Amino acid sequence: MKIPRVLNKKNRILLKELTKTDFKLRYQGSVLGYLWALLRPLMMFAILYIVFSKLLKIGNDIPHYPVYLLCGTTLWSFFTECTSQGIQSIIVRGDLLRKISFPKYIVVVSSQLTAVINLLINLAVVIVFALINGVTPSWTWFLIIPAILELYLFSLGIAFLLGSINVKYRDITSIWDVIVQALFYAVPIIYPISMVASTSTLAAKIILLNPIAQAIQDVRYNLITTETITTWNYIFNPSVIVPLVIVSVVLVFGAITFRRKSKFFAEEV
């Protein structure tokens, strides 16, 4: 029993050090340094807000739409950062994998924990903006935790699956970049799902089957305004469990694939 405890402790230390290193290296050499963790999502939000809210007049019927949009872009940035960093993590840490024997999943998890740190910083900004914008604090704010955890587990499953394949087939990174760009418009980030529902309820339901859309809408509902359509609006529809099933399948399948291929990482990387 003593050996596993020692190994677990070593793994925790390694995970902590890799996470700290990833976070420091990401902003090393930049003039603004860690401020980019705040500025990147805020700049993206500003561009989208000006174009879609001010010019195209989208979201005017949504209460606290600026915070609504900022929340969506923050969670989307978290998802893309988790997946992109996770997919490339094995290749980036190739030298370490060849020199030291340790559980390979630590490399993927450490790369994603940097995204978690950025998310926590950005969520603090979202909450400040929400309070300034007149959003009333509520106990439902705590309900955003399960939704964010779901989004993280979905990202982790994708990173395990595609990251293990990317070691041998480096085209995966480029393919995923294209998929992410397409997903951006398939998820209700810049447009409210109510706009889709007003035209087709079926289309809105199909969009909400996507775990990313479901998680973002749940966070908006519990954090900003209850005038947000979520999967739970269709609580009597069996499809309400589909996003959770998708997350579970992707996570399990990704973990199994990663475990099988991890034996050959040191040779292929």
End-to-end CA distance of the chain: 34
**pTM of the full structure:** 0.85
pLDDT digits (tens, 9 = 90+) for 209-245: 899 999 999 999 888 877 666 766 554 555 678 889 9
Of 253, 229, 228, 232, give the one whose Cα is nearest residue 243. Answer: 232
Say what percent of the chain tops pLDDT 70. Answer: 79
Please work out, in degrees rounded to the nearest 5, the angle formed at the alpha carbon of residue 209 by the alpha carbons of 204 and 214.
Answer: 85
Contacts 24+ apart (CB under 8 A), 98-105: 98/266, 98/269, 102/10, 102/11, 102/14, 103/11, 104/258, 104/262, 104/265, 105/160, 105/255, 105/258, 105/262
Contacts 24+ apart (CB under 8 A), 48-54: 48/73, 48/189, 48/190, 52/190, 52/191
Domain borders along the chain are 15-268
Average pLDDT, the chain: 80
Q: Which residue has the tokens 């973990």?
A: 255
Taking the C-alpha atoms of residue 114 and residue 35, their distance in angstroms, rounded to an integer, is 14
Rg over CA atoms, the chain = 20
